[in-house]
Each structure stands twice: as C-alpha cells, then as structure tokens.
A and B are shown apart, each in its own frame.
Chain A
Amino acid sequence: MSTSIELPVLTPKDFASDQEVRWCPRCGDYSILAQVKKILPTLNIPKEEFVFISGIGCSSRFPYYMNTYGMHSIHGRAPAIATGLKVARPDLQVWVITGDGDSLSIGGNHFMHMIRRNVNLKVILFNNQIYGLTKGQYSPTSPQGKRTKSTPYGSVDAPLTPLSVAIGARASFAARSVDVDINHLCYVLERAANHKGTALVEVYQDCNVFNSGAFDFASKKDQKVENCIYLEHGKPLIFGKDRDKGIRLNHLSQPEVVELGKGGVSEDDLLFHDEKLENPTLAFLLSQMRYPESPEPMGVFRAIDRPTYDDEVNEQVKEVTEKYGPGNLEDLFSTGDTWTVE
C-alpha cells in the first residue's frame, strides 16, 4: 500500500511574488498573469518545481511577479535557455514567457527549433502586434500599413502568423486565446499545462498605450461572437450570435463561410475540427483564417502526441549507460593505443 503525502493546498496568492507589478494600467498582461496564477494551483504540483523563463519586452517581466524559480533573460533566447534547463532537469515544469518581437523577430530561430524538437515546455506568447517596451515600433505581427514611430508612412513588412509558423515547425500543441476572455484563456492555459511537449499558447494582448484596440474584434463581447470561431474537438465550425454560420471547405479545399439552413446547408456539410490529426494541414488551414478576411478561430488548433526532446536525450543517456555500463574514467583514459614507460 502506498502512503500518500498531502500536498499543501496552494492558492493564486502563493504564486505572487513580493514585487510590485509594473505594467501600464489596464495592460492586457495583468489578466494573463492573473489567469496563470489561477490555474497553477489546480495542477497539484509543488510551487518550487515551476520555473518561468522569459526574454525581453514588457511581457518578459512576468517571472519577477511569480513566486517561483525564474529567469528574466536576454532578448529572444528564452526558448534556448529553457531547453538547456529542461534537458538538464526534466523534473521541472518550465514555462516560457515571450512576446511577438521576442519570439518571432530576434528569437525566431530558437522559437522554431524549440517547437520542432518538441521540448516539454509551456509557452505563452503575448502578441500585442507592437514593440511596447521600446515605445511603439511595429513588430513582425503588425499588419501591413501599420503606422508607428518607425513606420510613419505605414509598415511595408508582410506580417507573420505565429500559429502558422508553429504548425509549420511541427508544433504538437498550438492554441490561441485573448487576454480578457478569462474563461477561455484559463481553459487554453490549462490544456497547455497538461500537454506533454512544446505547448504554444498565443494570447492576443492589448497594448492600450501603443496599440490600443488591436484585438477588439476578438475581445469585445458584441464583436467576438461574430468574428471568432471557438474550436471544439470533434465539433463543426459554427459561429455567430445565433450560431447560424459555419465554415465549409469549397471544391478547392478552401474554407468559406456558409449560412446554416440556406441552400440546404446542414451541420454535416461543415468542417469538423480534429485537433488530434497527425497531418498538420487542417491546423495550418485554420491558422491561416485571419480577421478581417475571415472569421478567426480561437482555442486549441492542434494537440498531438509526439516524443519530447528532453525525454529522448535523457532516454538515450539511459540506453547507452545500460548498453556499455556506467562510465569508468580509467577505461576512458585508456581507449585507443596505450604504451607503458618503465
């Protein structure tokens, strides 16, 4: 019979550090911090096993506000630091906090490789489509034509879609939510926390100082039901205040909006979401549906099982050790030809 050890019951407060939170008033970051603190106690994992690693940017101050282990590192490198930590310490729960500039511009390389390796990390990407900490330049997710301090005549850069990048890099888990959509954000974060492998959660986050209202389409109560499709595994893609609209694939396998009941369209004609498909085509297609050209999906795009890098590295260490026996320095020194001088 096993004896169970009572874990102390943790509350969101236990995860708050003694540092004053210094984001701008009404910044979307506050909500994300609050939701993370809300879900961590539900995971039944001791507080000391969490590590939050961030890069640079407004969002990357996050670790200072968590009473866990953490590192506020350098610009773009959090995925690489977290990878090193997770390989050396697979017992830890390592979370990466990053932004659109941090992960997709200066840190694009690490972001992509973390995802393809499927390191068992939880990643929250605060996407506010702007550089906030440097006071308002356009970012790799800013829409073309965006006027900012560095693009007074409008940005000519074509933006990236973070989830498309992630799915292209073979993400095992990719999801999207919105900072103030509290219940949905909590649901998605919880799903990420329980996923094994790189779990990417893109959060649309309002920078009310430099890019206010960028995500109103997805956060305002009256707008979001018309503009967003809330994905559910195994369910058809239906949206709209009256849930009378859906997404169907046309003869070129492109998504199109149809009205239920019109022209004989029924639920069975709609695209059904399957987050567990091995083939990433559907998830990629969903990630390419962007407002305002199309209603935009929210929720879990993809959640598949795939071996994790940290497991594989450590498993190989175990296998080689079993095969050759634990390392012996004397044997190591004597590999190859040796000779003795009397």
Chain B
Amino acid sequence: MSAVDTQSNGNGNFRTTEQVDAVVIRFCGDSGDGMQLVGTQFTNVSAVFGNDVSTLPDFPAEIRAPAGTLNGVSGFQLCFSSTDIFTPGDEVDTLVAMNPAALKTNLADLKRGGTLIVNKDAFDKSGLSKAGYATNPLDEDNDSLAGYRVHKIDMTRLTRDSVADLGLSLKEADRCKNFFALGLVYWLYDRDATATQDWIKSKFAKRPELVQANLAALKAGADLGYSTQAFTVHYKVPPAKLPPGKYRKMTGNEAVAMGLVAAAHVSGKELFYAGYPITPASDILHELSKLKNFGVRTAQVEDEIAAITATVGASFGGAFAVTASSGPGIALKSEGIGLAVITELPLVIVNVQRGGPSTGLPTKTEQADLMMSFFGRNGECPMPIIAAATPGDAFDVAREAMRLAVEFMTPVFLLSDGYIANGAEPWRIPDLKDIKPIDFKHIKEANGKDGQYMPYLRNDRLVRPWALPGTPGLEHRVGGLEKSDGTGNVSYDPDNHQHMIETRAKKIAGIANHIPDQPLEGPDSGDLLVISWGGTYGSVRTAVQRAQKDGHKVTLAHIRYLNPFPKNLEEVIKRFDKVLVPELNTGQLRFLLRAMFLCDAKGLNKMKGKPFLVSEVYDAIIENLKK
C-alpha cells in the first residue's frame, strides 16, 4: 500500500511523496568511512520516530584494512517499518556506496529497481583499481548498473564545499562526508535530523569547528535532495503500531549487561564480572564497567582462564558472578567451567558465538557452539543452556540464566551470537514490578549431626546449600576432586562417583520442571514443525508466518531452553509429520533432536557468517512440505 502526494519544492520542481510500509537501507564504504556511525544514527532517528527497526552491522575483523580494498568494506543494514518486523530484510531498497569496493561487494544485494547512491568522486583510477574494476561502472556506456535508479553524486567535492569556511584540513573535511550521505538519505526518507544534530553537538563538543562542519555536511546532503531534480520521489514510512509503552533501542550485548545487573539489583546482590576482551563479546564488559554505582565489580583479567576462575572465586564468596566470551575464549574456559560444575557454584557464562573453528570469522555470526556448550568439557559435565532469540530478548534470558544458576547452584550457559550482540531493535522498557527477585538464601546454621556442616546435603531439587566464607561453624572445603555426597570430603569410592555423576545429571534434568513448556507459533499439529533456536528467530519466524499465510500447515517451535529441553518438546515433535531445523551450523540441534527423540529431522544449514534470509527459510519450508 502506498499513498502519493505531490508538492512543489519552491524551485518550480514538483516531486512526489510516497508512503511505504518498510524500507531496507544499507550504508557501505571503507572501514574508516564511518558507516557504522551513520547506520546507528539512522536507526536511532527511525526508532525515536516510532518505526520498528532491525539492524545488521557487518564489518571486517581488521580495524583498518588497506583503504579502498574489498577486504576493508564495512556495511550497516537496517530495516525500518510501519509494521512489526523481525529481520533487517533480505533485499536492499537503497544502497549507499561510498567507494568502488563497497559498490562491488554490495551491489548483488540491491533489489532490481532499487535506489543506488554512490560517491562519484571515489571512482577514480586508484579506487577502481583497488576494487578490481577494469572499467568505471559509473560510465554512461557501462550497463552494469542498468535496472537501478542510480544517483552519482560528487560527495567528496560537495562535502568539502560545505565546510570550506571552517578552516579544516582536507582530511578532516573529507571525514564529514558520511554525514553528507546521511543528510541526503534523511531527506529521501523524510527523517527528522534533530537527534543526530544533538549527537554531533555533544560528540564533538570539544572541537566546535567539527560540530559546525558535520552539521554543515548533514545539511548540505539534505539540501541536495531538496534542490535537485534527480530525486523525484521521497518516501514516508509511518510509525509502527508497537504495543504501548516507553521504548528505547537495544543491542544484544547491552541487553545482556542490563539483564544481569537488573537480576542482581532486584535480588539485593552485587554483580561480579570478569572478562577478557574478545569480539563480539567485549561490549558486555564495556557496558558493565560503566555501572559501578550498581555495585558492579568488573575485572579485565589476564586471560580467559582467569576470567572464568575469578568468577568461580567470586561465586564461592557469594557474588552473582558472570563471565562472557566468544568461541575461542569459551574453549579456554572449559576446565574452569568443569570446576564450577563439580563444586556446584552458581555463575553465568555468556557465549557470544562467532564463526569458527579457531579464530574463524571474528566479526561474523554463527551458531556452531551448541555442541560445545553441551559436551565441551572433560567428564560427565552437564549444565543448563539457554539462548537469546533477539537483541531485546537477551535482557530476559540474562535474568533467567542467573535465576537458574542461583536456584540450582550450577554454572549456566547463555548463548548469544554476533548478530544478536551487535544488532538492535526497539525494546519496551519493562515495569520494575515485573522484574522478580531471584530466590536464594545463604545457609547460616550447620545442617548435619553434631553441628557438622554438610556442604553437599541436598534439598528436594538436589540442590546443595550456598554457605558464605565468614559464616562461623560452616567452614568447609570444595574443589575439583570428586566429593562424597553430603559431607563433601574427598572420595574415591566407586559407588559414590557413580552416584554423584547421576545426581549432578538429575539435578540439571530436573530443571525441566521449573521452566515453561515449549510455546508454539501456529497450530498444535500439522504437516511441518520448524524448530529453531537463538538468533535465527527473526528470519525463521517471518518465513513461517509467510508459509502460514500461504495456507501451509506449518508451526514454529523456537527453543529458548536447550538444556534441559522443555518437558513437552518430545510430545510436540510427535504431533507433526515432518520436522525442519534451520541452523547456522552443520546441524547441531538437529543431531541432538534426532538422538534424543528419534525423530527424522531435516536441516537447513548455512555457514556463511551471515544470518538467514527469510526467502532461504521459506524456500526450505516449501521444499520440505513437498517431499
């Protein structure tokens, strides 16, 4: 649906305003061109305007790959919409390319008939050669851009002109051209630039000339759209009808940090966080480091092993303890996590998954650490695993991870991924009353005969008590050696070892009695059950909805609780003829489902460091229905 109205711009030129439901924009350029920044600004402005938004930042692992090369291209895609959306979009409506390399690597995602805005000035001999273009794609006789609405704009020159009076160096002047591009796109999509203007003013407060320059570039970009005849249409995307409430933009990493702080705060505890910098998890450390006035103690320690073990120490001392990392770091933490499992101490380990194995693709997303979370430790070492579905969902999942850890005296894996961590969406600010404190207590009196303290005397959930050092009479030793149930003394007794392995497993399995049943999106039974987990939720959900609209009997089960699975999962699976498991790995959840429930689950598996397109999942659904 689109409404059109026509107006004069005062120059005697008439242009139309078209109303559209949703638009996908991608800004791309060199990693030094400030594309993440303008993408974030556009997202903020659209969110504040009331659109639903979903973002996909995509940047290279190198901070500054050689300028102008294909490896150095950084992109930021966002979808903003007047309806509920769950993904940053399959196809790009408007592509802003700041140099030839960006054009070359991104053009394939621009839909036919889409708008292409390029910085003509960057298409010189050197730029073209770095991108591997033999001829200039912008030349009139070059038909590689046929079928797109192309706007070749001399952005570098126009930006320099707009800041000419401010006495900047050429380098500083050229740095403003991202705001020129942003200004133009703001005009094109009828955005209010006020929030960005405020941001510029506060960001460059110490350099007034840079405030002036960036504001001038932003305005020059908008003026260009307004005054030239090239842009005959501009677009309006009305606000989305989101549930009432107060909103903010939230990324996955921010949500994890806030969820953990909230969980501790409402429970009257202080958070201890130890971490080692690693992409894409570092922002959790950054966020928590700011929150010292919540009593958060953060320690950037010497390595990943120190991070997990410091957390074990803090947990022994009674803190709500957390560490976060990504695949390579989690691998290093394995032994420390095992120590937390055998000492039965509560802590949360956040794994922001990225492409692997080894260093893999540090800045790209993947879901390939599920098996590691289940089995990646020596010995029989079960622990709960839960996964966030969207950036905002990470807030609830973080609190839930802490609840499970503390209520069941166990380390808990919280799985996120690069897509959730850096992606953003509108987040409805919760009512504080809805954030329930976690139920815990520290034992104060000896629980055994003759005043003896029994550190492994369990309750009906098989959970052992949490005694704080400093409590008289409860002195006890824990450790990595197998312990006798009850007394906690070192034990090499064969029967006790079997009993302890089974007891630790039973305790974790029993958590199924204290989590919600698996919710379904769609009918209770039918032809196909799609089972997904983690950050693929948006694409899979959108694809399932589309298939449902097309009349197919398809239902989605998006799993949050991966270990233990919800109690009803097996029975749900049995009500469907077929099962499809789309994952950004070679089929790890599918492997588990097949092994545990003897179901003939099929997979859709993508390992490209990128999220699923909706169309990819939709096509797989249709194909599996046909089989």
Chain A residues at the B interface, C-beta cutoff of 8 Å: 17, 19, 46-49, 51, 53, 56, 63-64, 66-74, 77, 80-89, 91-92, 109-110, 112-113, 313-314, 316-317, 320-321, 323-327, 329-330, 332-342
Residues of chain B within 8 A of A69, CB atoms compared: 469-470, 475-477
Interface hits, B447-486 → A, CB 8 Å:
468-481
Verify A334–B246 contact, CB threshold 8 A: yes
Which listed residue, B258, B312, B470, touches A84 by the CB 8 Å rule? Answer: B312
Verify A110–B292 contact, CB threshold 8 A: no
| Known A87-B272, A313-B299, A333-B429: A17·B292 in contact at CB below 8 Å | no
Verify B314–A64 contact, CB threshold 8 A: no
Verify A81–B309 contact, CB threshold 8 A: yes
Verify B316–A87 contact, CB threshold 8 A: no
| Known A91-B470, A338-B246: A72·B306 in contact at CB below 8 Å | no
Verify A87–B299 contact, CB threshold 8 A: yes
Query: How many pairs of residues, A versus B, come closer than 8 Å at their CB atoms?
Result: 213
Verify A337–B292 contact, CB threshold 8 A: no
28 of the cross-chain contacts (CB-CB < 8 Å) are A49-B470, A53-B313, A66-B477, A69-B476, A70-B476, A70-B479, A71-B313, A72-B478, A74-B336, A77-B309, A77-B336, A80-B301, A80-B310, A81-B312, A82-B313, A84-B310, A113-B306, A313-B299, A317-B292, A317-B293, A317-B296, A326-B293, A326-B294, A327-B265, A332-B261, A337-B47, A337-B248, A340-B245
User: How close is A231's CB to chain B, nearest CB, in angstroms?
Assistant: 31
| Known A74-B309, A337-B195: A48·B469 in contact at CB below 8 Å | yes
Docked CA distance A112–B47 (Å): 48
Docked CA distance A19–B245 (Å): 60
Verify A337–B479 contact, CB threshold 8 A: no
Residues of chain B within 8 A of A77, CB atoms compared: 305-306, 309, 336, 339
User: How close is A91's CB to chain B, nearest CB, in angstroms?
Assistant: 6
User: How close is A78's CB to chain B, nearest CB, in angstroms?
Assistant: 8
| Known A19-B489, A313-B299, A336-B248: A80·B309 in contact at CB below 8 Å | yes
Stretch at the interface among B20-28, B115-123, B317-325, B497-505: B317-325
User: How close is A21's CB to chain B, nearest CB, in angstroms?
Assistant: 12
| A309 nearest in chain B by CB position | B299
* 13 further interface pairs, Cβ-Cβ under 8 Å (given A49-B470, A53-B313, A77-B336): A47-B475, A48-B469, A71-B313, A80-B306, A84-B272, A84-B321, A91-B470, A323-B293, A329-B261, A336-B44, A337-B195, A338-B429, A339-B47
User: How close is B251's CB to chain A, nearest CB, in angstroms?
Assistant: 11
User: How close is A62's CB to chain B, nearest CB, in angstroms?
Assistant: 10
Docked CA distance A336–B287 (Å): 13
Residues of chain B within 8 A of A109, CB atoms compared: 302-303, 306
Verify B302–A113 contact, CB threshold 8 A: yes
Residues of chain A within 8 A of B48, CB atoms compared: 337-339
Q: Give the 5 A-B residue pairs with the shortest CB-CB distance, closest first.
A: A84-B310, A72-B479, A84-B313, A327-B294, A85-B313
Q: Is B430 an interface residue (CB 8 A)?
A: yes
Q: Is B266 an interface residue (CB 8 A)?
A: yes
Q: Is B243 an interface residue (CB 8 A)?
A: yes
| A53 nearest in chain B by CB position | B313
User: How close is B162's CB to chain A, nearest CB, in angstroms?
Assistant: 26
Docked CA distance A72–B315 (Å): 15
Docked CA distance A86–B292 (Å): 17
User: How close is B479's CB to chain A, nearest CB, in angstroms?
Assistant: 3
Verify B336–A85 contact, CB threshold 8 A: no
User: How close is A285's CB to chain B, nearest CB, in angstroms?
Assistant: 27
Which listed residue, B245, B249, B265, B470, touches A92 by the CB 8 Å rule? Answer: B470
Docked CA distance A314–B270 (Å): 12
User: How close is B296's CB to chain A, nearest CB, in angstroms?
Assistant: 8
Q: Is B297 an interface residue (CB 8 A)?
A: yes
| Known A333-B258, A339-B50: A48·B473 in contact at CB below 8 Å | yes
Q: Is B343 an interface residue (CB 8 A)?
A: yes
Verify A87–B477 contact, CB threshold 8 A: no
| B478 nearest in chain A by CB position | A71
Docked CA distance A163–B260 (Å): 41
Residues of chain A within 8 A of B336, CB atoms compared: 74, 77
Which listed residue, A48, A88, A330, touches B319 by the CB 8 Å rule? Answer: A88
| A87 nearest in chain B by CB position | B297
Verify A325–B306 contact, CB threshold 8 A: no
Verify A64–B477 contact, CB threshold 8 A: yes
Residues of chain B within 8 A of A74, CB atoms compared: 309, 335-336, 338-339, 480
Residues of chain A within 8 A of B108, CB atoms compared: none
| B246 nearest in chain A by CB position | A340
Verify A89–B317 contact, CB threshold 8 A: yes
Verify A332–B291 contact, CB threshold 8 A: yes
| Known A74-B336, A80-B301, A337-B249: A63·B313 in contact at CB below 8 Å | no
Verify B50–A341 contact, CB threshold 8 A: yes
Residues of chain A within 8 A of B248, CB atoms compared: 333-339
Docked CA distance A67–B475 (Å): 6
Residues of chain B within 8 A of A89, CB atoms compared: 314, 317-319, 468-470
Residues of chain A within 8 A of B306, CB atoms compared: 77, 80, 83, 109-110, 113
Verify B243–A341 contact, CB threshold 8 A: yes
Which listed residue, A47, A73, A86, A340, touches B309 by the CB 8 Å rule? Answer: A73
Which listed residue, A63, A316, A321, A341, touches B479 by the CB 8 Å rule? Answer: A63
| Known A72-B480, A84-B314, A87-B314: A341·B244 in contact at CB below 8 Å | yes
